[in-house]
Amino acid sequence: MRAFAQLFAVLDRTPDASGKTAALEDYFRATPPADAAWALWFLYGQRLKRAVKSVDLRRWAAEAADLPPWLVGECCDHVGDPAEALALLLPLNPHPAPLPLALLVEQRLLPLAAATEVEQRAILRATWSELDPTQRFLWHKLLAGNPGIGVSRALLVRALARLARVEIAVMAHRLLGAWRPTPAHFARLMSGEAPGGEPACPYPFYLASPLEGEAPALGAVTDWQFEWKWDGLRAQLLRRAGEAILWSRDEEIVTAGFPEVADAARALPEGTVLDGELLAWGDGPLPFAGLQRRLNRRAPSAAIRRAVPAVFMAYDLLECGGADCRQWPLTKRRRELERLLTRAADEAARREAGLSQTGWLQPDLFDSQPVAPGLPAPLRLSPALSVATWDDLAGLQAQARATGAEGLMLKQRDAAYGAGRQPGAWWKWKVAPFICDAVLVAAQPGHGRRTTRFTDYTFAVWQGDELISVAKAGSGLTDAETDAIDAFVRAHTTGRFGPARLVTPELVFELAFDGVAPSTRHKAGFVLRRPRIVRWRQDKRPAEAGTVATLRGLCRG
Amino acid sequence: MLTVTEHGLYCASGGFHIDPWRAVERAVITHAHSDHARPGSRSYLCAADGVEVLRVRLGRDASIAGLGYGATTRLNEVQVSFHPAGHVLGSAQIRIECRGEVWVVSGDYKTQPDPTCAAFEPVFCHTFVTESTFGLPVYRWPEPASVFAEINHWWRSNQPRARTSVLFGYSLGKAQRLLAGLDASIGPILAHRAVREFLPAYAAAGIRLPAVQPATPESIRAAGGRAIVVAPPAAGNPAWLDGSGEFATAFASGWMLLRGMRRSRGADRAFALSDHADWPGLVSAIRATGASRVLVTHGASAPLVRWLNEHGWQAEALATRFVGEIPEEPETPHRG
Ligand SMILES: [Zn+2]
Ligand SMILES: [Zn+2]
């Protein structure tokens, strides 16, 4: 605790990152693994449950300091942080003899949770008598769950990487995932033994950078592989030590929400890690919102599993045969990924047929339920697309929306799998929505609960001096705007057409849409695809709205 | 015996004011800090040790008389004497006695050792007027020796990186106490003009301080990052340090005991060193006077007043314009 309190004091007063990193490095170099493990655990931002009620803490501190409770309250208000105020007012200890951090946590802090009030009081009094004010301050922070020391994970990773003499990405990887503050674990972090003992540890995700310039600037088109950019939940699928674990990009284990994926993953060989996207999937990708229902609950009900079938769309292979294969070029990783998924699919088919007999699957993996009939296979391979020329890529991009993708991914074929956002090997080319201004020409009540208000709108653009309707859209506006438009519709009705009211063409809206689709049912000859309201252009007059000719130009023949 | 008027604490039977905040006929002064010693009064009386520092504060023309610690003089019906307060050089508690009733006005005081001034002496009285700048039990000073060890260590650790150490402390009292605690074998000691101004008075009083050079951009540069500069506190890096090369800054103040205060100062280091009594100091000083009645001035007096009343004293707050320390001083309370 003495060294940890010293580290805290230095971190607390050192403003610059290099000073903090040096202090962390010094601390971890000199600290025994048992203490270092706990220090790292807290510095990494892990929390324990609050061990003692704060009213009890104050009461016992007042008693130990022989001060009236009101005066202790004054002190807490004055200092602003009770952990600090109590640390300062407790009786001084001229010869502090703090326990090492690990013992303090394991013999004092952890037992508090199950202790009676009398025992808690005794533990606190004993501990206070051993600590100096700075150490007590930290002790109080630990009692509240975490010291909350201002050090970023990036600094921590940098300090440990330097100490272990490994790349920052390697240390970031070792620190990811669920780990326990044990000396053995800390030693492994430093020595970098094979991750076999840590089945739950994912790799840092490689993140694509937005493509800003022109794609041809990337060189030969044949050096690149293209994939759809899926709008799902980025995840790693870890198949290790008899388990299948799904890690989301924000470092959460989401396995429980996707049992069918986890089950299917058991058909993969031991020591496999895939990178991919969790998607809600019907005939193709379903809206992202559906996935939320999977994330909100631990185990989705059968009804939700049916309503929002989930798949893992795999597109990269990070570990193969228990070995980190991120340094392989993409082409090699891809080839191996395809082979693994094909064998897994065969395996799954054989399992359903009751014929499961292969060398590399363990028998105990077979008691999982087969995929329910009629649902999509939960493990899928994201197709690799290729084009002959950069010009063809634009054509591919134009199909992204029809595929249900957000755009394209451009991946360099001979590049290794990176870490974090390192521009160069992976680019994302998102489909930008089209934008046009259109005039509100008709409105009708929405469905369901909103039937009392006019919330479904028809929008038109100019052809000569005639307004031709090209889109229907609802929502996207604030409640106040919807009310205002509702009032406008009632006051400016010029005719009725079924449930719809025709209105004076006065209001202009900016619409976003994904393209134009030919339509014989519409007078314009096309209709906007997936139109949505961006905003109400109260600054624009109807004459400033778009034209049919411009929109048709988007139609690309 | 004493009342608070618009001019300050007034003793009618003696016809004098103690530490008046406006010009008066006769001012009796506890010490030379500017919230206690203001210019313009016709005559001043203070402890003999304090005459020279008071003259620096009030100017050459002020009429200042000194009285040795413990000696008594009579002002009208009142016996007046000065007793060491341990706050800064020449600081005194003022004992006044009239018809058998004894009051002591503490001014500012501390009970910790300080080689630059006479140590606090408790004086028996019926009514004790005490300061309460740090009147909460969270304030408990570390041993000055350990604080000075830290300061010297900090100075030494800045030298290999050729960073001049700049230590901020109030120009009267704190600065000289800092000088006295510095280890002159580490490197050159430089002092700001406002600090050096008081040094002759210290020399005259026989206080031994290390040899000090004027702090200028040239003298700082010439020391090549090995020097320590003692200077009055300033926000940020003051203009007079421009062109002096790289430096590290630190504050020495009682408020630096609190983490929030340390962080708000924005200095590289903060050392908890105060010339005021901490909570145990206040309580022990009050107890030692034997007073049954305690009047509390300065800062947040309410908790101390309530605590005293709960513990058998008859205590109340006395509204004064003493501010704990002078505004440019780092010990000015940030809140309350
Ligand atoms: Zn003072
Ligand atoms: Zn004062």
Alpha helices in A31-181 (DSSP H): 33-43, 54-65, 69-79, 82-89, 101-103, 110-112, 117-128, 133-143, 153-164, 168-175
Q: Find the length of chain A.
A: 557
**What integer pLDDT is reported at residue A450 of this predicted model?**
46
Per-residue pLDDT, A248: 85
- Find which of A10, A78, A141 to mutate to test the B interface (most B CBs within 10 Å of its CB): A78
Let me know if residue B333 belongs to a domain: no
More confident residue, B98 or A50: B98
Give the chain B residue whose CA is nearest to the CA of A86.
Answer: B138
Q: Give CA–CA dist B332/B329, Å, rounded.
A: 6
The C-alpha of B336 sits at a distance from chain A's nearest C-alpha, in angstroms, of: 9
Q: Are residues B202 and B109 in the same domain?
A: no
Quote the ipTM score. Answer: 0.92
Contact B136 A74 (CB under 8 A): yes
Inform me whether the pLDDT recorded for A302 exceeds 50.
Answer: yes
The answer as to whether B288 is a domain residue is yes
- Measured over the CA atoms of residue A503, residue A505, residue A511 and residue A516, the dihedral's sign is positive
| Residue A510: predicted pLDDT | 92
Q: Are B48 and B132 part of one and the same domain?
A: yes
Contact B300 A78 (CB under 8 A): yes
Please tell me the predicted confidence (pLDDT) of residue A529.
77
Ligand 1 centroid – CA B87 distance (Å): 7
- For the cut 80, the answer to whether the pLDDT of residue B237 exceeds it is no
The top-scoring range by mean pLDDT among A85-89, A209-213, A533-537 is A85-89
Contacts of A84 in chain B (CB under 8 A): 258-259
Q: Which residue among A71, A78, A89 places its CB closest to the CB of B307?
A: A71
- Are residues B149 and B256 located together in one domain of the fold? yes
Domain for residue B252, yes or no? yes
CATH number at residue B33: 3.60.15.10
pLDDT band with cut points at 50, 70 and 90 for residue A176: low
**Closest chain B residue to A65, measured at CA:** B137
Q: How does DSSP classify residue A231?
A: -
Same domain, B101 and B38: yes
Per-residue pLDDT, A448: 52
Q: Which residues of A are catalytic?
A: 229
The sign of the CA dihedral A354, A360, A363, A369 is: negative
Q: Residue B153: which CATH number?
A: 3.40.50.10710
Domain that holds residue B100: 3-138+275-317
Q: Which of B239, B255, B271 is the last residue of a domain?
A: B271
- In this predicted model, what pLDDT tens digit does every residue of B255-283 receive, in sequence order? 999 998 887 777 789 999 999 999 999 99
Predicted local confidence at residue B73, as pLDDT: 96
Instruction: Please indicate if any CB of chain A lies within 8 Å of the CB of B137.
Output: yes
Is the Cβ of B307 closer than 8 Å to some Cβ of chain A? yes
How many structural domains does chain B have?
A: 2
Residue A364, pLDDT above cutoff 90: no
Angle at B58 between CA B36 and CA B128, to 5 degrees: 20
Do B151 and B238 belong together in one domain? yes
Q: Which of the four pLDDT bands, split at 50, 70 and 90, describes residue A13? A: confident
**CA of B92 vs chain A CAs: smallest distance (Å):** 29
Which residue did the predictor score with more confidence, B322 or A494?
A494
Residues B235, B311 share a domain = no
On the question of pLDDT at B324 being above 80, the answer is no
Residue B148 domain flag: yes
Residues B131, B7 share a domain: yes
Residue B226 lies in a domain: yes
**Inside any domain, residue B325:** no
pLDDT, residue A356, reads 43
Cβ <8 Å between B258 and A79: yes
Which of B134, B136, B237, B268 should we substitute to test contact with A (largest number of A Cβ atoms within 10 Å)? B136
The overall average pLDDT reported for chain A is 84
Residues B118 and B235 in one domain: no
Q: Please check whether residue A373 touches B, CB under 8 A.
A: no
Confidence of residue A92 (pLDDT cuts 50, 70, 90): confident
- Report the C-alpha gap between B76 and B73 in whole angstroms: 10
Round to whole Å and give the CA distance between A340 and A358.
14
My answer on whether B54 and B13 are in the same domain is yes
A363 band by pLDDT with thresholds 50, 70 and 90: very low
The set of residues, in sequence order, having a beta carbon less than 8 Å from that of B41 and lying 6+ positions away, is B17, B20, B23, B24, B25, B26, B27
In the DSSP assignment, the letter for residue A285 is B
Q: Does B249 fall in a domain?
A: yes
Which of these ranges, A43-57, A217-231, A436-450, A482-496, has the smallest mean pLDDT?
A436-450
Q: Label residue B326 by pLDDT band (50, 70, 90).
A: very low
**Residues B174, B87 share a domain:** no
State whether B133 and B154 are in the same domain.
Answer: no
Residue A360 pLDDT class (50, 70, 90 cuts): very low
Q: Is residue B56 part of a domain?
A: yes
Confidence class for position B234, pLDDT limits 50, 70, 90: low
Q: Which residues lie closer than 8 Å to B193 by C-beta, 6 or more apart?
A: B214, B215
User: Per the CB < 8 Å rule, is A85 touching B310?
Assistant: no
Residue B91 sits in the same domain as residue B187: no
DSSP string covering B125-172: -SEEEE--TT-STT--PPPHHHHHHHHHHHHHHHTTTT-EEEEE--TT
Q: Do A89 and B259 touch (CB under 8 A)?
A: no
The minimum CA-CA distance between B137 and chain A, rounded to whole Å, is: 6
CA-nearest of B219, B270, B232, B263 to B248 is B270
